[in-house]
Structure 1
Amino acid sequence: MNGPSGSTTATQSTTESNVDIKKKQQQEAPTPQNTPIFSAPISRPAATVEDDMETIQTPGTSLLGNNAQLMSMLQGRLGNLVGAPSNYLSTLGPDVRRRVKGLKSLQNKHSVLEADFQKEILALEKKYLALYTPLYEKRAEFISGKAEPTEAEVEDGVSEDEEEGDEEEDDEDKDIEKVEGIPEFWLTALKSHPHFADIITEKDEEALKHLVDIRMSYFDKPGFRLDFEFSPNEFFTNTILTKTYFYQDEPGYGGDFVYDHAEGTKIDWKEGKDMSVTIETKKQRHKGTNKTRVVKKTVPAETFFSFFAPPVAPEDEDDEEEMDEDLDEKLEADYGLGEELKDSVIPRAVDWFTGKALQYQDQGDQYDDDFEYDDEEGSDDNDEDDDDEDDDNELPAKDEKAPECKQQ
């Protein structure tokens, strides 16, 4: 079960998901607009100066321009039409409308099957998580130093590009002081991920060096929980910090589970170690007595640990409609981080630690770069056409080679 395309800073790499971040789902499919997929240019005679002048001086335009109240009323009414269904269905005959109702009946049955499909996917994910868990537990033992890999496991873990230089590296490592486990494993893995690298500060790194494991689990209701286990440290008393993501009980319109909200553990910071705030100190002087006093003000600070204090969407439907874009982006970014941990970081932690996961991500970025995307339609298209005409008239420089044709 994957998340919606997305976050953030969260945001570069985002994983596909079966969960829709939007809580409100459209209950019916949009009415067809009978518009062609490709918009062809419409030929018309070139407008003359006189035609343009007549258009500008059309009766009524000056009235609207001089009547701000009337203009505002018209804009408001036009704004209400945006997103409204067309009247296309009402123009169809009764037999056609009857067939459309039959299609809706089939769609309803399809939606029921889609919901069952998503529930079975969730059950399958739970089944395989139980199979993955012994591997994750053994991984945690290797990282902490509680266990060592067998010779067979070491041999199986050697990739082809590592085989040649292994002997030299082993000789160099003889004089290195022995360490326990794999220090700073999870900190390194998180910093390798672009989304988490953006939110981890230098102060955060000192605390995240004590992160010994990240685990994921499901529960009876749709959703999942992330557990961050820490060794004893100077920053907070919690051993485990938890982040839980809840979905709505029933799938949404497309059959995907709908993200509802998230909850995080309250961090018990030790005195003077709270990374979520900064203490600003200012001196104030009394004008009458000329005495000074020190005023301390607590200001929120950017930190990775804000992940455990997720943004909260308004409960009131009216407030939800007026929810600002900033909060909406924060909710989506927070959800995206949770999905990345569940679907990518935890399953492939060693690949993020070594940087191998970034290679695959870079390949995806290069794949996107192979395609060119047209700019928005409109007046810019004419400018591009003019530029193309100018380019056609330009000859390549003397030493400039013609571009190679990649097609064979």
Structure 2
Amino acid sequence: MDQSSANVDIKKKQQQEAPTPQNTPIFSAPINPSVPASEEDMETIQTPGTRENILASNPQLLSMLQGRLGGLVGAPSGYLQTLGPDVRRRVKGLKSLQHKHAALEADFQKEILALEKKYLELYTPLYQKRSEYVNGKAEPTDAEVEDGVSDGEEEEEEKEEDDDEKDSEKVEGIPEFWLTVLKSHPQFTDVITEKDEDALKHLVDIRLSYFEKPGFRLDFEFSPNEYFTNTTLSKTYFYQEELGYGGDFVYDHAEGTKIEWKEGKDLSVTIETKKQRHKGTNKTRVVKKTVPAETFFSFFTPPVAPENEDEIDDEDEDIDEKLEADYGLGEELKDSIVPRAIDWFTGKALQYQDNDDQYDDDFEYEDDEEEEGDDDDDDEDDDDDDLPAKGEKAPECKQQ
């Protein structure tokens, strides 16, 4: 739902340029007949800030001017209508080629989706093994362990382990694996509250699946817990049936599982308790009020765009941002978290992300240095030339 608006700066300073279609005033005749036309008065009108005062004191003129300027944004130039019939015929031929190109783009996107489905089937056995290792249902083979430390990242840590650790209490699987994964991701760590963490400790797996229509589903599997009775919470993202301008799939909406909260364990609300005193009897009573609370589990209650723009209230003014953020979380789970969960658990994925950000910062910093260096070179050149300024005499050459 892209919404655009024309923001026209009507207070832009007048440029001293030759008149062009871009800077020629819209109104060539006097706007206000009561404005005096003497030279002295004209000089007064042209003093800085006077135009702003005129517009500020005349809201009708300001509104009309904004409407005229806003109507020019995105308007066709009319150049095509000035071309001859032979040229317009060739333009129609180009449109035909573009239609064929769009059809190929659509096929390209469909093949990409088919490849994603194909390789998800190949990934699934690996994901199943991962789930078994995480939940203590199976142990990795010696070959897998050796392959896992081939890069030497964990060898030093193993050497530092104390021998007495062998006698410590046995732990099944990898405790709090998915909670650690989600908290390591920048976008999810912002939406996970302290209350959520205890419930997310029971998260045992996150699975990705596709279905016949364009879209994808994320399944969050939980072990029995004190917060809700659901064993699986799902979030499904749907695309529009028609492809976008570039031939890609366009996000339409999302649907989530209704969470069956146990009594007094709903993390999506907070109970506020207030005491009220009756004026006549002076008796007090306790009133409980349910207030929405921030929680990770709001992820399963996605925002919904109103069908009619007139229905948008103050709370939904930022609905586009909410929809974009919600879809972004789903994309991160699909493309990054589920495929590379172990890298997020160990922090390796975050290190790569930090390196990318650092590279961008360094790149910009080097550009700034180059620009500053160029300025310094110019200054040095000016000093070396040591040319006299206009109106000054050149320094005399005194011989000893």
Distance 1:242 1:250 in 2: 25
Q: Does residue 220 of the first structure (1) align with residue 197 of the second (2)?
A: no
**What is aligned with 1:186?**
178
Question: For residues 163 and 87 of structure 1, do their structure 2 counterparts lie closer, same or farther at Cα, with a shift above 3 Å needed?
Answer: same
Candidates 127, 142, 159, aligned match of 1:136: 127
Q: Where do 1:58-97 residues align within 5 Å?
A: 66-97=57-88
Distance 1:67 1:51 in 2: 19
Offset at 1:44?
A: 6.2
Could you list the runs of 5+ residues in structure 1 that have no partner in the other structure?
Answer: 1-21, 26-41, 374-383, 394-408
Distance 1:224 1:60 in 2: 56
**What is aligned with 2:257?**
265
Offset at 1:99?
A: 2.1
Report the TM-score when normalising by structure 2.
0.77
**What is aligned with 1:162?**
154
Secondary structure at 1:160's aligned position in 2?
coil
Candidates 248, 251, 257, aligned match of 1:256: 248
The structure that has the greater radius of gyration is 2
Could you list the runs of 5+ residues in structure 2 that have no partner in the other structure?
Answer: 5-14, 19-40, 366-370, 381-400
Distance 2:307 2:52 in 1: 45
Offset at 1:59?
A: 11
Question: For residues 100 and 279 of structure 1, do their structure 2 counterparts lie closer, same or farther at Cα, with a shift above 3 Å needed?
Answer: same
Alignment identity in percent? Answer: 77
Question: For residues 58 and 86 of structure 1, do their structure 2 counterparts lie closer, same or farther at Cα, with a shift above 3 Å needed?
Answer: farther
Question: For residues 72 and 193 of structure 1, do their structure 2 counterparts lie closer, same or farther at Cα, with a shift above 3 Å needed?
Answer: same
Which has the bigger relative contact order, CA under 8 A and spacing at least 6? 1
Q: Which moved more, 1:67-76 or 1:363-372?
A: 67-76
* 1:39-61 Cα shifts (integer Å, max 9, x gaps): xxx9969xxxx997563499999
Q: Does residue 230 of the first structure (1) align with residue 217 of the second (2)?
A: no
Candidates 144, 155, 161, aligned match of 1:153: 144
Question: For residues 326 and 199 of structure 1, do their structure 2 counterparts lie closer, same or farther at Cα, with a shift above 3 Å needed?
Answer: same
Q: Which amino acid aligns with 1:71?
A: L
Q: Which moved more, 1:92-101 or 1:259-268?
A: 92-101
Q: Which moved more, 1:85-94 or 1:327-336?
A: 85-94
Runs of 4+ in structure 1 over 6 Å off: 42-45, 57-63
Q: Which moved more, 1:107-116 or 1:151-160?
A: 151-160
Report the TM-score when normalising by structure 1.
0.75
- 8 Å CA contact 2:45–2:51 kept in 1: the answer is no
- 8 Å CA contact 1:282–1:295 kept in 2: the answer is yes
Candidates 309, 328, 340, aligned match of 1:348: 340
Question: For residues 140 and 98 of structure 1, do their structure 2 counterparts lie closer, same or farther at Cα, with a shift above 3 Å needed?
Answer: same
Q: Where do 1:31-46 residues align within 5 Å?
A: none
Distance 1:70 1:240 in 2: 61
* 1:249-275 Cα shifts (integer Å, max 9, x gaps): 221101110000000000000000000
Distance 2:181 2:235 in 1: 19
* 1:134-163 Cα shifts (integer Å, max 9, x gaps): 000010000110101111111111122333
Question: For residues 325 and 104 of structure 1, do their structure 2 counterparts lie closer, same or farther at Cα, with a shift above 3 Å needed?
Answer: farther
Distance 1:224 1:310 in 2: 15
Secondary structure at 1:310's aligned position in 2?
coil
Question: For residues 260 and 276 of structure 1, do their structure 2 counterparts lie closer, same or farther at Cα, with a shift above 3 Å needed?
Answer: same
Distance 2:144 2:225 in 1: 32
Distance 1:148 1:295 in 2: 54
Question: For residues 206 and 91 of structure 1, do their structure 2 counterparts lie closer, same or farther at Cα, with a shift above 3 Å needed?
Answer: same
Q: Which moved more, 1:304-313 or 1:361-370?
A: 361-370
